[in-house]
Amino acid sequence: MKSKIKLSLCLVAMLSTCSVYAQSNYKLEKVSVRESQTPRTLSQNEAFSAPETSKLTIDTLSEEEIKIANPKNIFEAINQTAGANVQFQGRKNSAIITFRGSSNIYSAAAFGVILDGALLSPMSSLRILESLSVDIVESIEVIRDASALTLGPIAGFGTPNGAPTLGFIVIKTKLPQDNGGAAKFSYESFDTKKADLSYGGIHDKIFYLASINGLFTDGRDDYNTAEDRGSLFLRSGYVGDDFTATLSAYYSNADKETQRATNSNSMVSDSRWKYEPTENEFVSAIFEKDFSANNRTTLQLSHSKTLWSQDFDRTNPSKVAGLYFKGTQTTDSIDLRHATKLDNTIVKIGAQALYYDAPNGELFYEGFQRKEQIYGAFIHASHAFLDNKLIVDESIRVDKKHTDSSVERYDPNSVLARSVTKLNNQKLSIIEDKWAKASMAFSLGALYKFSDTLEASARFAYLTAGSTDDAMSADGSAMKDEENYRYELGIKKVVNQYFNPTLNLFMYDNKNIKSPLYFGTNANPYIVFNQINQNRYGGEFGFDGRADSLYYSFSYAYATADAKKNEIPKHNISALMQKKIGDYALNISGKYLSTYESNFFTIDKKYHDVGDFISINLSVDYNHKLFQNDAKLSLYSRNLLDENYMTIFGFEDQGRVIGASYEFKF
C-alpha cells in the first residue's frame, strides 16, 4: 500500500475527560478513573453539550451504530442521522451538510462542527471530517438547531451577512478503556486499500491513545476520485481529584483528486482537479478545575490549520500560470466557561474568541485575503422544579464579528443572479476593518417528565444577525437584519426495550434570509443580495429497540417551506439493524431521500431533479479469537443496489462498493 503519512506531531502527555453536568440528578458530577472497575473506564467530556431541554431533538450516532452503518467517512455517518442530507460533490469542498431543509446557499458555513471540544471553521471542518478515520470516533451528536446557545457562536465565518448558525455537530473521539491495541485492514472496489492501527492505555491517573490511518484508492474510472492519504491522531491526559487536563492532536496528508461532474449538462464536467497535497493539522486542549463541589471552571484552547496546493487543470501539459492555487487557512480559539450550582439552579457563563485567517483566499475568492474574528459571550440558567420532574432553562448570547480583510465572491451562475439587473457604479465588496452588527439570541426551553417512561419538551429561540457595512441589496435598498423565530416540540415514550418512539416538530419563521450574488471579475468584484422571507416546518419521527441478539433504529423526517421548497427533499428516511447469530452478525443500514431540485452549475440554467434514491449498506461479521484475542472478519457492500444517484446536480455516486476487512486486538 502506498503511504504518505508524515509524522510531524509528537505525543504529548496531557488529556482527560472533563466533567459531566448530570442534570438528571441535578448536580455537578466529577468524572474520574473509577478504581472499582477492572479495567478502568473513562467517560467523555460533557462540558460542551446541549441543555437537557433540547435532548429530545438531538440525534446521536453511537460507536455501535457507526459500526453497523460501516460508513466510508464521517460525512456518510452524519448522513445516517435523522433528517440529514449530505450533498456529496467534488471540486473545492466535497460535501454540503443540510438538516431540516436548511438552505444550501451558505450551508457549508452554517453548521458549527465541534471536535473534542474545539469549534472548527467551516472549510477546515469539512476537510478534517473527510479525512478523519471513522474508527477513532466514539459518537456523533447532531444538534439540529442553534438554540443550544452555550455551544458556540451563532455568527459564522465565511458568510457575508453573519447569518445565524443553523446547528451544531459534536464529534467525540475514543478514549482507551483498557491497555492494548487494535489493527484493521480493508480492501474494497476501485483498488481501495485501508489500514488502521491504534494503541492506548491507562496508567494510574494518566492515559493515552495513538492511531495511525492510511488509505489508497484509484477511484472509479473517469470519476476523478483517486486518493492517497495518511493520518495520525493522538490523545493523552491526566485525571486528578479536582483537576483534569486533556489534549487531542491530529494530522493528515493527502494527494486527492476532486470528483468531477459526470453529467454532460454540468458546466464543471471537465473539472479534473487535484490537491497535491492537502494537509490538516488540529490541536485541542481542555483544562478543568473544581474549586468546590458546586463550582467548576473549564478552559478550552484549539488550533487548526489546513494547507493545500490545488491543480485546476491537469489535462493541460503546459501548466499555464494561474492553474495552481496554493492556500493556507488557520483557526484559533479560546473558550472560558464557569458553572455553579445554587440550590436547584445551575448557572453557566462563558466567553469565546475565534480567529480565522486565509491569507491566500479560498473557494470563490482566490487571491484575496480573508481575515475575521468572532467574539461572543453567553449566560445560561437551568432550574429544576417538582422534584426534578420539570426542568426549565433560558439562555442569552451575543456575538460580534470583525473583518480585517475580505472580499465576498459567490457563484455567478445562480438562477437568482440571472434575474438581477446589475446596478451602475456599484461599490466593490472588499471589506477592510469592519464590524458587523451584533448577532444576538435568546432561547427558552422546558422539559417535563410525566413518568420514568414519558417526557416532553418545548423550546423557543429568537436569533438576529446584521450584515457588514458595505453589503448592498440587489435592488439598491437598505439591507435588513436577518431574524429567526424558531419553535420546537418533542415527546418520547419508553414503551419497552423493543420499542421507544420519539416525535419532534419544528417551525422556523425566517425573515430577510440573504442570498449572496456575485458579479464582476477577480480584479473588480462586488456583491449584491436578494432578501427573502421563508417559513420552514416539519418534524422527525423515530424509534429504536433492542433484544439479546437484535438492535434496530428507524427515523423519518419531513421538511418543506413556503419559499424555495423545490430545493428541499420532503421525505428523508434512515434505518439501522443488527442481528447476531452466534459468532456472526448481520448489519443493514439504509437511506431514502425523495426528489428535490438542484441548479448547481447547469448549462441550460434550469433546475433538475436529484435525490429519489434508496441506498443500502450490508455487511456480515464473523467474530472469533486470534491468539486468544478478539478478532473480526467482515464482508460488506455499500450502495448494494448500485444506484448512481445525485444529491447535488452533476455529481453521481460512484455506485456499488464491495469489500472485506479484518480487525484484531492485541
DSSP string, 188-249: ETTTEEEEEEEEEEEETTEEEEEEEEEEEE--STTS---EEEEEEEEEEEEE-SSEEEEEEE
CA distances from 189 to 95, 215, 319, 512, 638 (A): 22, 13, 32, 47, 10
Residue ranges of alpha helices (H) inside 104-173 are 122-131
Q: Which of 6-20, 259-273, 344-358, 480-494 has the lowest mean pLDDT?
A: 6-20
Picking from 236, 224, 232, 228, the residue whose alpha carbon sits closest to that of residue 252 is 232
Fold of the 20-665 domain: Maltoporin; Chain A (2.40.170)
Residue 549 has pLDDT above 50, yes or no: yes
Distance of CA 551 to the CA centre of its chain: 25
Residue 233 contacts residue 199 (beta carbons within 8 Å): no
Confidence (pLDDT) at 41: 52
CA 231 vs. chain centroid, Å, equals 19
φ/ψ (deg, to 5) at 331? -135, 130
pLDDT digits (tens, 9 = 90+) for 272-292: 888 889 999 999 999 999 999
| Residue-wise pLDDT tens digits, 64-85 | 999 999 999 999 999 999 999 9
Q: How many Å apart are CA 55 and CA 456, to the nearest integer?
A: 10
Question: CB under 8 Å to 548, separation ≥6 — which residues?
Answer: none
Q: Say what the pLDDT of residue 647 is.
A: 93
Instruction: Give burial (CB, 10 Å; 0-12/13-18/19+) of 258.
Output: buried
Report the mean per-residue pLDDT for the chain.
83
Q: Is the pLDDT of residue 394 over 90?
A: yes
The average pLDDT across 134-150 equals 87
Of residues 294 and 109, more confidence is placed in 294
Sign of the alpha-carbon torsion through 645, 280, 5, 184: negative
Give the pLDDT band of residue 90 (cuts 50, 70, 90). confident
Phi, psi of 64 (to 5 degrees): -65, -45
Lowest mean pLDDT among 246-250, 332-336, 521-525, 630-634: 521-525
d(Cα 600, Cα 482) in Å, to the nearest integer? 25
Q: What CA–CA distance (Å, rounded) separates 246 from 9?
A: 16
322 has pLDDT over 60: no
What letter would DSSP give residue 427? P
CA angle at 146 for the pair 145 and 148, rounded to the nearest 5°: 100
Structure confidence at residue 408 as a pLDDT band (50, 70, 90): low
Instruction: Read off the pLDDT of each residue in 456-477 and give the average, rounded to a whole number.
Output: 76
pLDDT at 368: 76
Q: 337-382: per-residue pLDDT in tens?
A: 999 998 899 999 999 999 999 898 776 566 778 898 999 999 999 9
Q: Is the pLDDT of residue 297 over 90?
A: yes
User: pLDDT value at position 313?
Assistant: 63
What is the amino acid identity at position 642? D
